[in-house]
Amino acid sequence: MRSSFALLALLAGALLPAPARALDPAPAQAADLAEIEACLAGAKDRPETCIAVISNRCQSATPDGATTPGIVDCTTRETAAWDRLLNTRYAAALAGARQADDDLADGASPGAADSLKVAQRAWIAFRDAECDRLYQLWRGGTIRSPVAASCHLEETARRAISLRQDPEG
């Protein structure tokens, strides 16, 4: 499975000025992850309201936050935190699915763990294709990089949220 950040970096790097291309997506900082988790804890009925809280603040607080590279950088920063959360929740969901498979071992079906792996791979393919579609749709302008970065953020966050709601997660 390819990292969402590898594709994002490739897409963003193609159009950004040379200094911005040198910037790799920052790994999720502990503070960003803690902020997202705190937001989710306080927004139990509306977890989607937590999407883009870090990115929006970063864009407002960073001197270059309103530039194309600044928007991409801030969005990618938050995506890294959501990706870390998604991976944690996926691991928990997979462990729960394996336990359910052990508890219900009948040998008649692939089981919950295999189904979750298939679903996750399909989701990754969908996310990458959808964000590439939007990137290509806006190929005539510099907005394409922020659009693709925003797509990765939203899709990654929504998947992390949905895994949280999974009975096994």
pLDDT for position 164: 78
Q: Which domain holds residue 75?
A: 4-165
Q: How many distinct structural domains can be found in the chain?
A: 1
Segment among 14-23, 109-118, 151-160 with least mean pLDDT: 14-23
**pLDDT-derived band at 102, boundaries 50, 70, 90:** confident
pLDDT for position 70: 96
Classify each residue of 21-53 as buried b or exposed e, where b means 16 or more C-beta atoms within 10 Å of its C-beta: eeeebeebeeebbebbeeebeeeeeebeebbbe
Q: Tokens 């990458």, residue?
A: 128
**pLDDT-derived band at 109, boundaries 50, 70, 90:** low
Predicted TM-score of the model (pTM)? 0.80
